[in-house]
Amino acid sequence: MACFFRRRIAAKLGRTLQQSEDAFIPALSAVSVFKKQKTADFKLPISTLRTNGILPSSGDIQLQTENLASQLNQDSVLEDISADRGVIYFTVNRKLLVQKMLEPFGGQEDERFGLNSELFNTLKRGTTLVEYSSPNIAKKFHAGHLRSTFIGNFIANLKRSLGNNVIRMNYLGDWGMQFGLLGAGFGQFGCQEKLKQNPLQHLFEVYVQVNKEAERSEDMKQAARDFFRQLEQRDSQAMSLWQQFREITVHEYQHVYKRLGIHFDVYSGESDHQDQAQEVVQQLQSQGLLKTSEKGTGVVDLCPDGDMSSVCTVLRSDGTTLYITRDVAAAIDRKQKYHFDEMIYVTDKSQANHFHQLFQILLSMGHSWAERCQHVPFGLVQGMKTRTGEVVFLEDVLNEARTRMLDNMSQSKTTKEMENPEDTAEKVGISALIVQDFKGPLLSDYKFDWDRMLQAQGDTGVFLQYTHARLCSLIRRNEGIEAAAFDPSLLLEQTTITILQHLLRYDEVLYQSAQDLQPKHLVNFLLKLCHLIASAHRQLPVKGSPRDVAQARLRLFSRACSVLANGMRILGITPVDKM
Ligand code: ARG
């Protein structure tokens, strides 16, 4: 695999330059088959050796490159070494490339392809808490929540694959004035029957109605305030209604998350940290960090000069706490409960300042672990609509994706042979949503576009699924032919070499994603892999080829299939075998 070759090259460089070979590993990378005009597999930019002090940073870089290249001799593994414009290129012996990259692991281990890479050794391992999705009870599940759900799941999957212990947490918006309104309004507009039948819908309807009513009626406003006060005082009747709303909502969400193939280890929420938030205020007070503003609110001064030019409000003038106060309390509580080594919050970019302030407050309280807390922000999605109109619930989006996909699939004859076309349509539809979401930098806004995301040929989730299903069908049709042993010299066509060169990059791509937590590297890697596979289907037929050739080609296709499937799973996509 890629590691084997990187190690060989590093060892050669280490011997030549009398350095530890490890120093060269991060500087080496596989050459992208889409960028190069070269046949080489790995490259080493001399500039990195200059920056890390291995080579003198003065002098002519071209000359340095050529000099070094001329000292590196070819051997049985490295077939060619050449210099070009400040970069040294290495070409691996073709047969060995085929053999190493297609080495059968057999069984389960195939799923570990690329994941045991020594590139990951420098990454910190430990417990990662990822908080994502985090919708608000009785309110809309908007596109931002959907993005957070996908992205957080991806980050959790990636961290898990790279050997971290991962805690997946959903932090519900389950406290605040909205429950005052909801509680007060439920008596008037609510109906237990409807609540049982269609909980999310009904709670939302009541919430909308109550809000309207509260706008024109002072009585309703007062009733809402009263109800919320009862909640804050843990009045048992008020609490039991609140509890019911929360339980029903979580139950519904769990069902929808299941459709997405997503689960959470913990459902926490703002309500869990009410009392702790008051304790936080006291701590801030005793540490001398709590100031009173002119308006009578409690604030923390975030300005290094202490001139109150930038403050964060943590306490209202009526003594109640805020969203941020609960977040401070929640973070401290999580650290105590889960002993995480790092914590990641996934929300849209409008909350960037909130998290910045949160981490600052934690640090000023002496919680140095806040250095290892991170907010992963993302951009807005415009125009997420279904045929019937605006999206209110997560389920609406999933249903729409399924229906549209089912329509598209109904033309194909394989659909008629399928046992459960709805299930396939659902999985493919979800992958379309995910790939659309992950293709660009997370911070960019994008336009939601059903037609584009569901195209079978473009760079879409449908294309990933289609490629995977086609590979599975090829493997199924040739069951019995596949053999563990194959002759590498039967796989020396350029089409094969190109695929293997692309696979050499897999661990680097995961490494890159682990560094910046951006899914685009992996998505684009997989889409490119699918394009290469499409030409391989044309150029390397299995059917009608002599048995040994067919065996060797199947080996290539099944390796490509397993890398594709594993990569898709990390993205949060469930690969389908037929479509
Ligand atoms: N419920 C919030 C919202 O919908 C997101 C929560 C983000 N997480 C946090 N710890 N503040 O905007």
Q: Which residues of 458-484 are buried (b: 16+ CB within 10 A; e: fewer)?
A: ebbbbbbbbbbbbbbebbeebeeebee
Set 12, 43, 100, 142: catalytic member: 142
pLDDT at 36: 65
Whether the per-residue pLDDT at 165 is higher than 60: the answer is: yes
What total number of domains does the chain contain?
3
User: pLDDT band at 568, cuts 50/70/90?
Assistant: very high
Task: List, as own/partner pairs, every contact residues 427-430 make where C-beta atoms lie below 8 angstroms and the sequence separation is at least 24, other chains included.
Answer: 427/465, 427/573, 427/574, 427/576, 428/461, 428/462, 428/465, 428/576, 428/579, 429/398, 429/401, 429/402, 429/404, 429/405, 429/454, 430/259, 430/260, 430/261, 430/398, 430/401, 430/461, 430/573, 430/574
142 assigned to active site: yes
Q: Compute the distance between CA of residue 15 and CA of residue 326 in angstroms, rounded to an integer.
A: 57
Shared-domain flag, residues 346 and 221: yes
Set 43, 145, 273, 502: catalytic member: 145
User: pLDDT band at 484, cuts 50/70/90?
Assistant: confident
Ligand 1: which of 171, 246, 380 to mutate, judged by most atoms within 8 Å of the beta carbon? 171
Ranges of H-type helices in 287-412: 323-338, 352-364, 394-409
Distance 347 CA to ligand 1 centre (A): 7
Mean pLDDT of 53-62: 92
Shared-domain flag, residues 165 and 257: yes
Whether the per-residue pLDDT at 37 is higher than 70: the answer is: no
Shared-domain flag, residues 341 and 437: no
SS3 category, 425: helix
User: pLDDT band at 105, cuts 50/70/90?
Assistant: low
Shared-domain flag, residues 196 and 339: yes
Render pLDDT for 123-152 as a digit per residue (tens, 0 to 9): 889 999 999 999 999 888 889 999 999 999
The more confident residue out of 457 and 329 is 329
Mean pLDDT of 181-206: 92
Shared-domain flag, residues 193 and 265: yes
Whether the per-residue pLDDT at 108 is higher than 70: the answer is: no
Whether the per-residue pLDDT at 278 is higher than 70: the answer is: yes
Whether the per-residue pLDDT at 54 is higher than 60: the answer is: yes
Whether the per-residue pLDDT at 390 is higher than 80: the answer is: no
On whether residue 157 sits in a domain, the answer given is yes
pLDDT at 103: 85
Of the three residues 356, 382, 408, the one that is the final residue of a domain is 382
On whether residue 122 sits in a domain, the answer given is no
Shared-domain flag, residues 80 and 131: no
On whether residue 413 sits in a domain, the answer given is no
Shared-domain flag, residues 369 and 428: no
Render pLDDT for 485-504 as a digit per residue (tens, 0 to 9): 889 999 999 999 999 999 99
The identity of residue 176, as a single letter, is G
Whether the per-residue pLDDT at 482 is higher than 80: the answer is: no
Q: Of 39-43, 103-107, 222-226, 569-573, which gets the smallest average pLDDT?
A: 103-107
Shared-domain flag, residues 8 and 84: yes
Mean pLDDT of 551-561: 95
pLDDT at 480: 84
Give me the domain span that covers residue 377.
Answer: 127-284+327-382
On whether residue 376 sits in a domain, the answer given is yes
Render pLDDT for 284-312 as a digit per residue (tens, 0 to 9): 999 999 999 999 999 999 988 888 889 99
139 assigned to active site: yes
On whether residue 502 sits in a domain, the answer given is yes
pLDDT at 113: 87
CATH of the domain at 448: 1.10.730.10
Find the residues whose C-beta lies inside 6 A of ligand 1: 131, 134, 136, 171, 173, 327, 345, 347
On whether residue 244 sits in a domain, the answer given is yes
pLDDT at 116: 87
Shared-domain flag, residues 195 and 66: no
The more confident residue out of 112 and 36 is 112
Count of positions (residues) in the chain: 579
Shared-domain flag, residues 378 and 267: yes
On whether residue 412 sits in a domain, the answer given is no
Shared-domain flag, residues 259 and 144: yes
Shared-domain flag, residues 231 and 376: yes
Q: Compute the distance between CA of residue 311 and CA of residue 303 in angstroms, rounded to an integer.
A: 7
On whether residue 55 sits in a domain, the answer given is yes
Distance 2 CA to ligand 1 centre (A): 40
The identity of residue 516, as a single letter, is D
Mean pLDDT of 341-366: 98
pLDDT at 556: 95
pLDDT at 318: 87
Alpha carbon distances (Å) from 66 to 10, 56, 89, 322, 445: 17, 15, 11, 63, 45
Work out the mean pLDDT of the chain and round it to a whole number. Answer: 93
Residue 291 C-alpha from the chain's centroid: 39
pLDDT at 111: 76
Report the DSSP beta bridge partners of residue 92.
78
pLDDT at 510: 97
Q: What is the ipTM of this complex?
A: 0.99
CATH of the domain at 254: 3.40.50.620
SS3 category, 378: strand
